[in-house]
Amino acid sequence: MIQDLRIKYFGICLPTIDLYEEFSDYRRIDPRVRMRALELGLLIHSFGCQLQVVSIGRSRESNIRIYGYDKKTGHRELPARAIDFSVKGVGLKRIIELKNYHSIFLDDGRYYSLIHHDVGHGDHLHLQVPYNKNINKILWDNVKFKKGGSHGRKRY
Ligand SMILES: [Zn+2]
């Protein structure tokens, strides 16, 4: 039964029922980032491999565990506007191909991004769409940032 849920979309593996439900619920995942994830999935599927979703929304506790504080990030909004994929088994050449191809979806706004890095969840791709005040409710703890003068408003 669980095996049936593991690969639900071309090129996108959702390893747990929780992640599958989160990915399927537009109230928890911004449809703009899901749409781009599905497009990435089609391309990676054509390479004969897949991206495994490792994180969508994140709790205050998981942020503190990873970064030591409640970080401002697209993962800490509702719906979440960021997805992390494990790139295990994909290879650097294909990751570069994915990034080059996907740039046609990224060049239409300041905060669209597809970043390949190694923080929090190990070697992974971070896909993100811009903050939209009508869609994304901020969940992170702003108190920590007020002293610095940014008032927690800075986006990236
Ligand atoms: Zn991320």
| 143: alpha, beta or left? (left if phi > 0; alpha if psi -120 to 50) | alpha
pLDDT digits (tens, 9 = 90+) for 10-69: 999 999 999 999 999 999 999 999 999 999 999 999 999 999 999 999 999 988 988 888
Burial class (CB in 10 A: 0-12, 13-18, 19+), 138: middle
* Average model confidence (pLDDT) across the chain: 84
Domain ranges of the chain: 2-145
Measured in Å, residue 84 CA sits from the centre of ligand 1 at 5
Report, at the CATH architecture level, how domain 2-145 is classified. 2-Layer Sandwich (3.30)
* pTM, to two decimals: 0.82
Per-residue model confidence (pLDDT) at position 153? 45
Q: Quick one: pLDDT at residue 93?
A: 94
Distance 121 CA to ligand 1 centre (A): 8
d(CA 83, ligand 1 centre) in Å: 6
Instruction: Please say if the pLDDT value at position 148 is more than 50.
Output: no
